[in-house]
């Protein structure tokens, strides 16, 4: 018999709606799972079992409010949940307790979701896996010696290991889609501003997106409906036939040459989409280096006012890797920041122009499978070797999902991108690919 924690969000929602599963049963099984695996994974930095069980028992007595009724959702610990600390995985925020729910939490709570755990992140959603913080870094469920991606590292590890069916993350330079890539799950960054950021600790407000991680595309659509309103499931089974897909091959072939296995997986994805009836054509965008430089200048500039007091008065309060990533913000010139914002418009226009010829884009997400978490040079290399950052600069919705397994048993991935506000189209492409490729439900050994 399938244990409740193994169910996808959609399966659990159907079981709850049919009264075959109580929210408290689902939660209890997920809590048992967390107790067993979290000591290995470090995905959860706080498990709030008692309050979550109280909420679940109350939901047991209600008619289902929505598909999210009684669904445990993990929360990256930069997002406020009323009454719980929002530590940002930092010693500098250990005792900060949120007075009220973030807007996205309030929406999910109204839909019936339960929040049993705050999840590990890179410190302030920027650093990297660090061993000089109050909490350990999350680890990759496919291989505990490897990096799970970040900064929404706990969200990726928890969902892949089936501690919970869905989790929230934030994405400023790829931080939802990176863990999705490395953990073999689905990571969705919606259009900029689709999900309100109130109650989410900022990294760089003009690049910050609230996103979600699930095990299936259908689950991502269900989460998005609760987080944003709208009917995102409606067209996701429409299939790939006739869909015009622009293949941005130069990202992984020329701009940041991908690991051969990753490149092969992305090329295989393109061939599969064509076999399924999509119309593929190659598309050229500005080089990744242009997007990356603009993202970096904006991120540094916008993170500076958030962190200036701590950087000046308590620089030792950060992990070393976080301090190194944030310090440039206080030394950047206004000219550099504004130059990046000036160049941003033409970059967004270039991506927008591509969508006059195609419906969605197919690109790489990560250029490499997950590296070892104890190899600082390899960890450092993982952050720029990606094609996610472009769509934080432009604001376009993007989704990452599994595209295979490396010879060493680590997930490979690809990314779809859609026109602004066209999440339905994005989910249709991703669901069509997911159905054709057959990686849905792939389980890491720990699961």
Partner 1 sequence: MEPGPPTIPLAEAEALARAAGLERAWRQHRADVLEALASIARLRRHLPRGEDEAIEPCPAQVARP
Q: What does the binding site for partner 1 look like in residue numbers (CB under 8 A)?
A: 191-193, 205-207, 286, 289-290, 292-294, 296-297, 300, 308, 311-313, 315-316, 320, 323-324, 327-328, 330-332, 336, 338-346, 348, 380, 384, 395, 420-421
Minimum CB separation from partner 1 for residue 287, in Å? Answer: 9
Closest CB to partner 1 among 266 and 332?
A: 332
At its nearest, how many Å lie between partner 1 and the CB of residue 373? 20
* Nearer to partner 1 (CB atom), residue 64 or residue 287: 287
Task: Tell me if 225 sits within 8 A of 171, measured CB to CB.
Answer: no
Beta bridge partners of 211: 169
Task: Output 295 or 413, the one with its CB closest to partner 1.
Answer: 295
> Which tokens hold the place of 360?
């969605």
DSSP 3-state of 340: helix
Contact 400, 365 (CB under 8 A): yes
Q: How far is the CB of 350 from partner 1 (least distance, A)?
A: 11
Pick 227 or 403: Cβ nearer partner 1: 227
Instruction: State the nearest-atom distance from the C-beta of 141 to partner 1, in Å.
Output: 30
- In sequence order, the 6+-apart residues with CB closer than 8 A to the CB of 61 are none
CA separation for the pair 214, 156 (Å, rounded): 8
Looking up tokens 């967004």 gives 348
Q: How far is CA 76 from CA 150, 268, 275, 313, 334, in A?
A: 11, 33, 38, 27, 31
**In the complex, minimum distance from the CB of residue 375 to partner 1, in angstroms, rounded to a whole number:** 15
Count of CB atoms situated within 10 Å of the CB of 346: 11
Closer residue to partner 1 (CB): 1 or 331: 331
Bond prior to 151 in cis (omega within 30° of 0): yes
Give the CB-side neighbour count of residue 338, counting CA atoms within 13 A. Answer: 3
Least CB distance to partner 1 at residue 339 (A): 6
Which residue in 68, 70, 75, 65 sits closest to 102, CA to CA? Answer: 75
DSSP string, 69-103: TT-BEEEETTB--TTSB--TT-GGGTT-B-SS--H
Q: Tokens at residue 14, please? A: 């159907």
Which residues carry out catalysis?
A: 76, 151, 175
Question: What distance in Å separates the CA atoms of residue 62 and residue 65, rounded to the nearest whole number?
Answer: 8
Q: Please identify, using beta-carbon distances, which residue of 102 and 288 lies nearer to partner 1.
A: 288
22/367 with CB nearer partner 1: 367
Give the C-alpha separation, 305 to 321, whole Å.
19
Whole-number Å distance between alpha carbons of 98 and 87: 10
- Report the nearest approach of partner 1 to the CB of residue 17 (Å): 32
- Cβ at position 336, least distance to partner 1 in Å: 7
Cβ contact 240:273 at 8 Å: yes
Which of residues 46 and 324 has its CB atom nearest to partner 1 in the complex?
324
Given the structure tokens 């530590």, which residue do they identify?
A: 87
Closest CA to 99 of 82, 75, 118: 82
Q: What is the separation of C-alpha 140 from the centre of its chain, rounded to a whole number of angstroms? A: 14
């Amino acid at each position: 018999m399938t244990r409740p924690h193994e169910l996808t969000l959609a399966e659990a929602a159907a079981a709850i709606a049919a009264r075959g599963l109580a929210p408290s049963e689902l939660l209890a099984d997920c809590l048992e799972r967390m107790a067993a695996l979290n000591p290995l994974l470090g995905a959860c930095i706080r498990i709030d079992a008692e309050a979550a069980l109280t909420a679940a028992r109350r939901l047991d007595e209600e008619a289902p409010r929505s598909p999210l009724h009684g669904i445990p959702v993990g929360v990256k610990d930069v997002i406020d949940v009323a009454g719980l600390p929002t530590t940002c995985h930092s010693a500098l925020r250990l005792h900060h307790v949120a007075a009220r729910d973030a807007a996205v939490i309030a929406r999910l709570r109204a839909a019936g979701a339960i929040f049993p755990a705050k999840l590990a992140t890179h410190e302030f959603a920027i650093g990297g896996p660090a061993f000089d913080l109050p909490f350990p870094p999350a680890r990759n469920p496919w291989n505990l010696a490897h990096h799970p991606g970040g900064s929404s590292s706990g969200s990726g590890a928890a969902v892949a290991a089936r501690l919970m069916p869905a989790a929230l993350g934030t994405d400023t330079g790829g931080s939802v889609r990176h863990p999705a890539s490395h953990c073999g799950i689905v990571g969705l960054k919606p259009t900029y501003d689709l999900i309100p950021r109130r109650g989410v600790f900022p990294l760089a407000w003009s690049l910050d997106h609230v996103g979600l991680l699930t095990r299936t595309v259908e689950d991502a659509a269900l989460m998005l409906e609760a987080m944003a309103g709208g009917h995102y499931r409606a067209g996701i089974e429409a299939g790939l036939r006739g869909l015009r897909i622009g293949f941005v091959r130069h990202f992984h072939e020329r701009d940041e040459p991908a690991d051969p296995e990753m490149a092969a997986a992305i090329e295989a994805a393109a061939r599969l989409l064509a076999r399924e009836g999509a119309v593929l054509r190659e598309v050229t965008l500005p080089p990744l280096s242009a997007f990356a430089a603009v993202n970096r200048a904006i991120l540094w500039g916008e993170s500076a006012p958030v962190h200036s007091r701590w950087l000046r008065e308590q620089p030792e309060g950060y992990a070393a890797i976080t301090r190194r990533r944030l310090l440039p913000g206080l030394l950047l010139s206004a000219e550099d920041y504004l130059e990046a914002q000036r160049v941003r418009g033409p970059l967004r226009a270039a991506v927008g122009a591509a969508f006059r010829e195609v419906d969605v884009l197919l690109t790489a997400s990560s250029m490499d499978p997950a590296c070892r978490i104890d190899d600082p040079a390899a960890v450092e290399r993982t952050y720029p070797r990606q094609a996610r950052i472009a769509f934080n600069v432009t604001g376009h919705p993007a989704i990452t999902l599994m595209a295979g397994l490396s010879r060493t048993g680590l997930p490979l991935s690809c990314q779809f991108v859609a026109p602004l506000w066209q999440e339905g189209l994005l989910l249709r492409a991703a669901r069509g690919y997911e159905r054709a490729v057959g990686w849905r439900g792939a389980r890491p050994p720990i699961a």
